[in-house]
Amino acid sequence: MPADKRLTTHAIEFPYTRTLGPVYSAFLTGMRDGQILGIKSRDGRVLCPPTEWDPNTGEGLDADFVEVGPGGVVTTWAWVTEPTSKHPVDHPFAFALIKLDGADTGLLHAVDAGSMDAMQTGMRVTARWKDERIGHITDVEAFVPEAAK
């Protein structure tokens, strides 16, 4: 290398963190406390999971939280035959959209129904909470058929 040229090494970093904001913070604090929160939209619907913005108008929403669930109805689902280490449970389960009681939209989560034959659209499920909760969506380990509580 010529004497007038120098080699330098740079590390590109992003030394910041993002806060959750008031809506997601309230939702995850609720999860930690064993409750599931939705938020009222401009037209009065209850959105769960809550969003910061009205999906129809794009306007910011007031922090008008509503407790929903913990039970609800499966509106659609897909079976996972071979879970990986990144899945919420270590045995076959379904990912499902669940319209929780009191909500007008669906929450995507795992359903531990025991077998694919036990899963069906329209079935009632309820949250199975972890004993130790930390404020993550995974504080609900999975939803289970209400008869299997």
Confidence of residue 74 (pLDDT cuts 50, 70, 90): very high
Q: Which residue has the higher pLDDT, 107 or 2?
A: 107
Answer with the residue of higher pLDDT: 35 or 15.
35
- pLDDT 10s digits, 88-124: 999 999 999 999 999 999 999 999 999 999 999 999 9
CA distances (Å), 92 to each of 29, 60, 143, 144, in order?
Answer: 29, 39, 13, 13
The token duo for 59 is 């306007």
Give the residue among 129, 124, 130 at the shortest CA–CA distance from 146. 124
Nearest to 146 by CA among 72, 49, 88, 75: 72
Question: What pLDDT band is residue 23 in, cutting at 50, 70 and 90?
Answer: very high
Q: Break the chain down into helix, strand, coil percent, rounded to 5.
A: 15, 35, 55
pTM (2 d.p.): 0.84
| pLDDT the model gives residue 79 | 95
Residue 75 in contact with residue 98, Cβ under 8 Å?
Answer: yes
